[in-house]
Amino acid sequence: MNNDTESASNRQAEETPMGIIVQDPEVVPEGGYGWSYGVFLSYYLTTSTFSSATSLDYAFIGGLEFGCSLSLATPVTIITRRFGIHIPMLAGIFFQTAGFILASFTSRTAVWQLYLTQGALVGVGIGFTYLPAVVVPSQWFEKKRSLANGIVSSGSGIGGIVFSFAAQATMEHVDVPWALRMVGIVSGAVNLVAVALVRSRNREVQAVIRGFDVALLKRENVLLLLAWAFLTMLGYVTPLYSLSAYAKDQIGLSDSQASVVTACLNLGFAIGRPLMGLVSDWYGRIEVAGLSTFFSAVCIFAIWIPSNSYGVLIFFAIISGLFLGVLWVTISPLCVEVAGIKDLNSLLALAWATIVLPCTFSEVIALKIRRPNTERPFLYPQIFSGLSYLVAAGIMFRLWQVQHRKRLTEF
């Protein structure tokens, strides 16, 4: 891989699961070393690392990490039911570590190799590693379930800070291949420790239901929740993956400054998610989810779009980080609110199936509607993200009305 500094934006202007059994509530893997792809994406977009690649290729690769992990929810659950959580987690560590290391040896003339390694193989590894274990907090906590999930979810922010800085420093002082190897080896070693320590309560839970319950889709509140999840993820992925590139291309920041912006976004995740879980337990899951979704839109329109300096972008990264990841903290408690404990797993399976497409293609859409060689190339992606959150907030308000009316009729 070379260190050519040809702008990928300029190049773009020239080239321009189902009906199966699910066992426990699952929260889709996200965060930590997965979000370090934002740093790699920024590097790929501003250099000619792969001579035949376009910005859409890099967006698809990042989307594959999301899409592959989400698509594996049902088969991974079946494997977990048969073999327990540790065997699939160990398999996931192998896939994920292999994906990063193999990505470091890809040919700079064959971007398809990056699709298979840093995209698909890493995504498969994330799915196998996190899906079996991330249900554990919900199994051990009841009254403070949202807080417990918020604390666990904040680990993605802390991991994102560490890996963003580490990957950027390795790219600057060594090269990109060693940055990929570092992320793979370190995350693999840490995950091995996690596998040794984690203990599930799968035998006590004993939940056996269909992975795609069509009957749930006949309920208005279920459809509203799924629509909210879909639109929230459309808005979420764009700032997550584009913020570092925006910092360099739009504002003219250095690589190290752009990595600080990404780290500040992860800092917001680390601080905001436990707070969101705590407040949700106090004031209501639907209410807090709706307000957080609305505040995400406000942050994008009021801070990110007008931002033109390093300080303002840092401010946006921290403040928006408090709200942007609202789905990851609230989705499991929201499913309980909407469908009840009995149908929790079925509704979660529907939710994961619903957000596969936005997670996979949101950044692709954002890069496609960018306007290279203009004064504000990221304006349309910013509007796209903000509108997604705004419409999602409106849908959540409608869900609140439906649930409120339902509670009144019950009394």
CA distances from 149 to 162, 326, 332, 347 (A): 21, 11, 9, 18
What pLDDT, on the 0 to 100 scale, is given for residue 9? 36
No. of helices (H) and no. of strands (E), the chain: 18, 2
By the 8 A CB rule, do 388 and 89 touch? no
User: Which residues are paired to 210 by β-bridges?
Assistant: 21
By the 8 A CB rule, do 366 and 381 touch? yes
Q: What is the CA radius of gyration of the chain?
A: 20
What pLDDT, on the 0 to 100 scale, is given for residue 3? 39
What pLDDT, on the 0 to 100 scale, is given for residue 10? 38
Q: What is the DSSP string of 287-313?
A: HHHHHHHHHHHHHIIIIITT--SHHHH
By the 8 A CB rule, do 132 and 6 touch? no
Q: Which domains does the chain have, with CATH numbers?
A: 12-410 (1.20.1250.20)
* pLDDT tens, the chain, 411 aa long: 443 333 333 333 333 333 333 333 333 334 444 445 666 766 776 776 777 777 778 777 877 887 888 788 778 877 877 888 899 999 999 999 999 999 888 877 788 888 888 889 998 998 898 877 777 776 677 777 778 777 877 777 777 778 877 887 888 888 888 988 998 999 899 999 989 988 877 666 555 445 566 788 889 999 999 999 999 999 998 888 788 888 888 888 887 788 788 888 888 888 888 888 888 888 888 999 999 999 999 999 999 999 989 999 999 999 998 898 888 888 888 887 888 766 776 787 788 888 888 888 887 888 888 888 888 889 999 999 999 999 999 999 999 998 888 877 766
CA distances from 262 to 189, 267, 269, 381 (A): 23, 9, 11, 17
